[in-house]
Structure 1
Amino acid sequence: MTFIALITSILALAHKASAHFKINYPTWRSDTFNEALNYSQWTYPCGGVPDGVGNRTEWPITDGAVQLTLHHPWTYLFVNVGLGSSVTNFNMSFTPDLMNVTGQGGFCLPSLSVPMKVSDGTNATIQVVTSGDSGSALYNCADIVFRSSAKVPAGVCKNDTGMSAVIVGHSSTTASNSSATAACPSSTSAHNSATGIAVEGIALAAMLGLACVFATGAV
């Protein structure tokens, strides 16, 4: 391979990686970065990965979390969920309002609960949808089983320095500030209530339709 061809290949791979994202927790259905697996994150609803691939993560019925690695300078983000062992309809959302995340790196949504009553042992699939400057949507899924005894592993939910998020249409904005603290809503309660949550490394605003800021720490 010539030097120019090598550089072209490297740049092409870098561009591809920058346009995609990863679900770190719960464990995603499959590694859709792996070209050998012939999956594509552009494919609805789960990046081309069919049911039955990968394992189910035991996930809390209340106060779950979704940890991502984002590669765009900014990203529109939706996190949806559907119940069942073979989900075709992601008809509930952990992010009922469009979220705009700024920054590249680790990003966590903490204290998530399915917006309806579920029983211990219920199977479900979490679908993460992102869109950046290309305007096209990218998809990944993580299969879970709800457990009343499950807890988010210590240190899993964290945000890299410089990450921030706002609900589109809200005037609230944030900047990275490791000393800032505030109350943040829990999806287990009504949208006009709030509970304190600590998340490592960033300030994060306006989750679930209300402005909030997370402080340095870990969930």
Structure 2
Amino acid sequence: MLSRLLFAAAGASLISAHFILQWPETAGFDDDAEPQSPCGGATAILNSTSPQIHVEQFAISILSTHPEAEWQFRATTDTQPPYNFTDIVPVVNSTGIGSFCLPSMSAPAEFAGHPGVIQVIDNSVDGVLYQCAPVNFVSGANSTLDSACTNATGFTASWTSLESIDGSDSSASGTMASMTGSTTGTASSTASSTESGTGSASSVAAAAIVTGVSGILGGLGLLAAGLAL
């Protein structure tokens, strides 16, 4: 599925498009409506055919047409707007144009067994843009990587200390990491898990940028080798 989506997206015009959420599959793409919160003018329709997302580890793949951007990743089990999104990782800075993949995202453990929405926010030269994907959260981790989970040549990304790029009161949960992707097929990170202030168990979110079909999440000693979606 991811391979087909990436191939189709590769034919999109890099001149007209802002960004496209490739996996999980976007609820809808309208270039002119992307500045509209929460989902870029699209309606996230949740049903049994929405892709399964493993809360302990899943991938997010994006086609970006902005040379520099900040990215925010959120999730919710609300099925109707206004959504109460949770920031699942800190803000990511990126440089470069083309596809990039984050193969080791995670969501709160309590999301498992519920339908929900993943939101991606892009803050770049064109302003703040939005895309959403309807999903079904399930327990466990998907750590088997597909060759389609790649970064474009010259694309790099790194974590920041920011929790939000659009004024949200949500706070990031999981792992804080410092990381830079490379174009040689590896990625390194320094990670430390954080603990929820409410006393509830927080999910451990190891986040890595992968180029090619493999990458190493050094902080957890995890070898990632392509995500079969």
| Cα displacement string for residues 157-184 of structure 1 (whole angstroms, at most 9, x for unaligned residues) | 22122111123369x6747341645356
Q: Which ranges in structure 2 are unaligned for 5 or more consecutive residues?
A: 1-12, 163-177, 196-203
The normalised TM-score by structure 1 is: 0.68
2:147 aligns to what?
A: 155
Match 2:42 to one of 46, 49, 52: 49
The whole-number CA distance in structure 2 between the counterparts of 1:71 and 1:28 is 16
1:1-219 correspondence to structure 2 within 5 Å? 15-17=15-17, 20-33=18-31, 40-52=33-45, 56-95=50-89, 97-120=90-113, 122-134=114-126, 136-148=127-139, 151=142, 154-168=146-160, 174=180, 176-178=182-184, 180=186, 182-183=188-189, 185=191, 190-191=193-194, 199-201=210-212, 217-219=225-227
1:93 Cα deviation (Å)? 1.4
The one-letter code sitting in structure 1 at the alignment partner of 2:184 is S
The alignment-based identity, stated in percent, is 23
The whole-number CA distance in structure 2 between the counterparts of 1:102 and 1:65 is 19
The whole-number CA distance in structure 1 between the counterparts of 2:23 and 2:60 is 5
User: What is the RMSD computed on CA atoms of the aligned residues?
Assistant: 4.0
1:196 Cα deviation (Å)? 9.4
3-state SS, counterpart of residue 162 of structure 1: coil
The normalised TM-score by structure 2 is: 0.66
The one-letter code sitting in structure 2 at the alignment partner of 1:190 is S
1:30 Cα deviation (Å)? 1.5
Q: Which ranges in structure 1 are unaligned for 5 or more consecutive residues?
A: 1-12, 34-38
3-state SS, counterpart of residue 117 of structure 1: helix
| Cα displacement string for residues 111-145 of structure 1 (whole angstroms, at most 9, x for unaligned residues) | 1111342232x0110011001123x1010100000
- Structure with higher Rg: it is 1
Contact 1:107 1:158 in 2 (8 A): yes
The whole-number CA distance in structure 2 between the counterparts of 1:190 and 1:14 is 37
Aligned length: 190
1:63 Cα deviation (Å)? 0.6
The whole-number CA distance in structure 2 between the counterparts of 1:118 and 1:178 is 35
The whole-number CA distance in structure 1 between the counterparts of 2:57 and 2:38 is 25
The whole-number CA distance in structure 1 between the counterparts of 2:100 and 2:66 is 12
Contact 2:74 2:119 in 1 (8 A): yes
